[in-house]
Every structure is written in structure tokens, then in C-alpha cells.
Amino acid sequence: MRILITGAGGQLGRDLQGALAGDEIHPATHAELDIGSRAAVLGAIERIRPAVIINAAAFNDVDGAETSGELALAVNGAGPGHLAEAAARTGARLVHISTDYVFDGTKGSAYTEDDRPNPLSAYARSKYEGELRVLDSEAAACVLRTAWLYGRHGKNFVTTILKTAERGGPLRVVSDQVGSPTSTHDLAEAIASLIRTPARGLFHVVNRGACSRYELARAVVSGRVEVEPISSGEAARAAPRPANSSLVSVRWEAAGLTPLRTWEAALKDFLKGLAPG
């Protein structure tokens, strides 16, 4: 299968290349393909003629988007629309990656695909715009909402906690933000399975279960250093975060796809893989 991966230099993009190693992969980093450029996208997809496009490209600086809203919207909003237009023109399938942050976190329990989004931040609004452009297009498309991604490649919460813990504790981590930590390895494998099916539409795809940032940090350091809980207000980040944006799916299994394992099992394997020897 000929597959174009946008955002191929990121943590998910790199794991996708491993998960799809048996296919004809055309990885494109942001430097190689800026999805914010309609002309660049249409030209690249006309040239490559992929059967599947997986959009892992994104402006992921949640706080930076508060002052760079136009750039975030170009990449996260307009970009997926350009890919959807090109996919519809060439008959390609499109898999677009979105986020749990499209929700405001006030539900008090995990969100399903049937819940109504209400994005709080500029980043979240740009990602929701991307979803709408893909789902409203004529492309054969899937939108996958995922959450709290971590992997071996690139910067993420888990590796940041590990590096910070090396300098000693205590670590101060917010305890009033709950979500679904998800391994990019597991998500990449799930996408590799998805594209072998005729599935279409919106899906939530995360490692099962939920925890707070504080609980996740404690699981990462495993008692090696002290972790102190703080509030989001004490963390004083520029962009608002949802209090509980954990996800569950009512559609993934119905499409014949296997649910991802628990976040605890995925994290355990990830940390084991980082251990020397």
C-alpha cells in the first residue's frame, strides 16, 4: 500500500514509519511538506498518488498558540482541509489525528465520540476546525482523537518527567487535569490496523483508562523522587486546559478494531524499553 505520512519527523510520525514498514511509505516532514500551503499539498499528492494519507502534522505548542493563533490555524485547521481536498481529488483515504483538547473537560467523566466539543484554547479551536474541515469534505476519511501522546522520539510529558527526575526532586505536577495517556507506538499500530478496514468517520483512540498528570508522573518516576501535587492555577500556563478530557470509544470495537491496552501496561513497556541493557 502506498502511504503518505505528513509530520513524519514527529513522535507519532516516526513510530508510524515503523508500524508501516511493510508498505510503500512516503514520509514527509514539515520542512518537506507544509500542509498549511494548499498548492504544496495538492502538488505533492498529485505527484505521489498515495492510497492512504496519514496526517500526523500539527502545531502542538498549546501555550504558544495563544499568541500564534494564525499559524496554529493554518497548520491545524486549514492544513487538514487541504489534505482532504487532495484526497477527494485523487481517491485517497485520509486519516487525520486530532486531540482530546477539543472538549472543555466539564463533563466529569470520559468523553465519547457522541459528545459535543467545546474547545477552550486557541490550539484546541484550531484542532477542532481541522476536524470539521475533514469530516465535512468529500474525502473518504477518519478523524482520530487521541490524548497525552508520548514515545521515544521527540519531547513529551513522560520523557520530560524522566529528565527532570534525574536532577532530583521534588517534582511539582498538576493534579487537577485528568486524561488518557497514550503510547505513540500503540497508536501507530492501531492506525496500521485501521487502514486495512473500510472504517470511516470519527473515532477516539487512546490507551484504556485515565489518570491525572500527577498520577502519571508518579507512575513514571516509580518512587525514585518525590512528586508534589499542585493546581493548574499554580502552574500558571498561558492556555487553559480541560479539567477532565479523558476519552473512551463507542465506535472503535463496533468497526471490528481491537481496543488499545491499558495506559499502565503501555507505560510499563515504554519505560522498560528505555532501561539500559
CA distance linking residue 161 with residue 69, whole number of Å:
28
The pLDDT score that the predictor gives to residue 90 is 96
Whether 5 and 46 have beta carbons less than 8 Å apart is answered as: no
* Range list of β-strands (E), 13-170: 24-28, 52-55, 93-99, 140-146, 149-150
* Range list of β-strands (E), the chain: 2-6, 24-28, 52-55, 93-99, 140-146, 149-150, 171-174, 178-179, 182-183, 201-204, 211-212, 227-230
Q: What is the pTM of this model?
A: 0.94
What angle, rounded to 10 degrees, do the helices at 79-90 and 38-48 form?
30
The pLDDT score that the predictor gives to residue 55 is 98
The pLDDT score that the predictor gives to residue 276 is 66
CA distance linking residue 144 with residue 148, whole number of Å:
13
What DSSP assignment string belongs to 134-168?
HHTSSSEEEEEEE-SEE-SSS--HHHHHHHHHHT-
CATH code of 2-156+181-208+246-260, in short, is: 3.40.50.720
Residues 6+ apart with CB under 8 A from 6: 13, 28, 33, 35, 53, 54, 55, 56, 57, 83
Phi/psi at 24 (nearest 5 deg)?
Answer: -85, 100
Task: Supply the residues annotated as catalytic.
Answer: 123
Closest CA relative to residue 60, chosen from 203, 220, 239, 213: 239
The pLDDT score that the predictor gives to residue 144 is 98
Q: What is the pLDDT along the chain (277 residues), one digit of tens a residue?
A: 999 999 999 999 999 999 999 999 999 999 999 999 999 999 999 999 999 999 999 999 999 999 999 999 999 999 999 999 999 999 999 999 999 999 999 999 999 999 999 999 999 999 999 999 999 999 999 999 999 999 999 889 999 999 999 988 799 999 999 999 999 999 999 999 999 999 999 999 999 999 999 999 999 999 899 999 999 999 888 999 999 999 999 999 999 999 999 999 999 999 998 876 5
The pLDDT score that the predictor gives to residue 154 is 83
Distances 105 to 56, 82, 115, 125, 132 between C-alpha atoms, Å: 24, 29, 11, 14, 20
The pLDDT score that the predictor gives to residue 277 is 55
What's the full length of the chain, in residues? 277
CA distance linking residue 17 with residue 233, whole number of Å:
39
Cell of 116: 459535543
CA distance linking residue 142 with residue 92, whole number of Å:
12
Distances 216 to 76, 173, 264 between C-alpha atoms, Å: 27, 9, 9
Residues 6+ apart with CB under 8 A from 132: none
CA distance linking residue 177 with residue 172, whole number of Å:
13
